[in-house]
Structure 1
């Protein structure tokens, strides 16, 4: 694992309340550059693969509607978790973050993700 991805994962794990899992995934190929989960029964790479389909579907909808817009992030709220899919400005990769909704604050989680995303944007 590259040092900047290792540092990114370490920072997210240590500083995002309710952290469950994180991946950084390439949109074109579905390859995970990095993945980690604090739960043995939560497969972040499988979650990322399914969320890649969500990203591609939304990109297709944007194109079909003729919108001149790009995805910033996609928020999925489950009964006990929050999943954020943060797509890079260039659309080449996304960060997938899952947190426990009873421990996380959505605003703070998004702000922290944005902060740590800056550390990897220039490297990928």
Structure 2
């Protein structure tokens, strides 16, 4: 799986305009299984640890509100000059954290490319 994660990360890094960083982490344990960053001062594993709390909070909110048959697909955080996309796997066990420069990235294209490479990654497993 490590080679597949590396290929997934390299595909995103090389094909998503404005790529800053990526991490793939398990929701239950918080363990980051893969991370890559183009910015020396940006730690994607640390960012994943904090964003994991967003994911857990949203899952808890769905349960508290008794929103039947609802799952978190993704969470978008818009910062002054960055987009942070947190994409949850279909089985709800993992998430992909992707940070891009909003001056260089188109949000629709970023999400579309992320979905494309996720499908490619899933086929390789």
- Structure 2 length as normaliser, TM-score? 0.95
* Structure 1 unmatched runs, 5+: none
> Residue in 2 aligned with 1:27?
27
Q: How far 1:2 sits from its partner (Å)?
A: 1.1
2:85 partner SS: strand
CA positional deviation for 1:120: 2.8
Task: Report the counterpart of residue 118 of structure 2 in structure 1.
Answer: 117
User: Is the partner of 1:82 in helix, strand or coil?
Assistant: strand
Taking structure 1 as the reference length, what is the TM-score of the superposition? 0.96
Query: Shift in Å at residue 89 of structure 1?
Result: 1.1
In the TM superposition, what whole-angstrom CA distance separates every residue of 1:86-118 from its partner, at most 9, and x where no partner exists?
001110000000000000000000000001111
Offset at residue 23 of structure 1 (A): 0.5
Question: Structure 2 matches for 1:74-89, cutoff 5 A?
Answer: 74-89=75-90
* Contact map agreement 1:4 1:119 (CA 8 A) in 2: no
Name the Cα RMSD after superposition: 1.3
Residue deviations 1:41-76 (CA, integer Å, cap 9, x gap):
000000000000000000000000001200110000
| Contact 1:88 1:121 (8 Å CA) reproduced | no
TM-superposed deviation, 1:122 = 5.4
Alignment match, 2:10? 10
1:98 maps to 99
2:50 and 2:120 map into 1 onto residues whose CA distance is 25
Structure 1 residue 121: deviation in Å?
A: 3.3
Greater shift in the superposed pair: 1-10 or 33-42: 1-10
